[in-house]
Structure formats: C-alpha cells, structure tokens
Amino acid sequence: MDDQLAWYVAGPVLGLCVVACRALFNGRLGVTGGFSELVTQLGRGSLRFDWRGWFALGIIGGGLLFALVRGGAGVDGYGWLTDTFDGSGGAFAIAAILLISGVAVGYGAKTAGGCTSGNGLTGSSLLSPASLVATATFFATAIVVAFAVEAVV
C-alpha cells in the first residue's frame, strides 16, 4: 500500500499498546484472547465482555476509523489468492482456502497460548520461554509455507 506508516513509528506504538494493557489491567495484550472472550461470552448469550473482548472490538473500530479517514480500505484484493484465482470457481477456491487457513490460525493460536500479538509481541517482550519457542516456530513455519506457495503458484 502507499503512504505506509514508518516501521520505527508503528513498532513502538504497538509496543506501547502492550505496556498499556499491563498498566491498565495487568493484562496480556493478545488478539486471540480477545476473540476467545467474544466467542465464550456470545456462546453464553452474554454481552458482558471483559477488556480483552472490547480490545478486539476496538481493533475493528480502528480499521473502520482508518478506512473512513483514508476514504477506503487500505487493502486491494487479498494477496496472492485474488491474484491467482478468478471467476466464480476461483472465488470458491479462495473462500475454501481462507476458511481452512482461518480455522488453523484460530485453533493453532489457542493451542499455542497466543498468536502474533499474544506470544509474538507480549510473550516475547517478557522473554517468556514458551512464547519465544512459539514465535520462532510460527515465523519459521509461515516463511517455509509462503515459499512453498510461491513455488506452486
């Protein structure tokens, strides 16, 4: 995308979000934890989300705010998937791949105790051995898989 925020601004602001969650809630910033809270409460028919649920909803609000100010989404297409597949058959393929990948991301993150934010940012910043292992594993896996996809398409 154009007009990308400089990495040396984006990174420290994300880091300060981790600090803010600790300062405000003694909490562990993690988006999967937020999704998990939403699923758990909605499953009980409750809207009484804790801060993590509201944090996840806030991210949706942040995306909306960004799109409103910018006058449109900051995303054209959906990466290699929309570059590779077209037509109605292609749309079906994209949907199937995204659904399966999404399940892997959600189930995997819960199993590992966090995703890119919970383990990658929060856990790594605490030098938590479990998070360092998880972060190294998911980065290495994603890199290998991305190169595998690149080799095929």
Partner 1 sequence: MRAAVAGALVGVVFGVVMSWSGMADPAVIREALLFQDAYLYGMFASAVLTAAIGVRVLARVQRRAVVTREPITLTTDQPERRHVTGALLFGAGWGVANVCPGPVAAQLGQGVAWSLITAVGVVAGVWLYLRRSGALETEPAAG
Measured CA to CA, the distance from residue 122 to residue 17 in angstroms comes to: 10
Q: What is the distance between the alpha carbons of residues 104 and 138, in angstroms, rounded to a whole number?
A: 12
Of 36, 71, 84, 85, the one binding partner 1 by CB under 8 A: 36
| 98 binds partner 1 per the rule CB under 8 A | yes
By the rule CB under 8 A, 153 interacts with partner 1:
no
Q: Select the residue interacting with partner 1 from 35, 84, 85, 93 (CB under 8 A).
A: 35
Nearest alpha-carbon partner for 135 in 126, 145, 123, 144: 123
Least CB distance to partner 1 at residue 78 (A): 4
Give the x/- contact pattern for partner 1 in 46-85, rule: CB under 8 A.
Answer: ---xxxxxxxxxxxxxxxxxxx-----xxxxxxxxxx---
Give CA–CA dist 142/144, Å, rounded.
6
Among 43, 45, 71, 87, binds partner 1 (CB under 8 A): 43
Counting contacts by CB under 8 A, is residue 107 touching partner 1? yes
Contact assessment for residue 138 and residue 32, using Cβ atoms and an 8 Å cutoff: no
Query: Closest approach of Cβ 89 to partner 1, in Å?
Result: 16
Q: How far apart are CA 67 and CA 61, in angstroms?
A: 10
Two tokens at 147? 């190169």
The helix (H) or strand (E) run that includes residue 77 is strand 77-79
Distance of closest approach, residue 93 Cβ to partner 1, in angstroms: 12
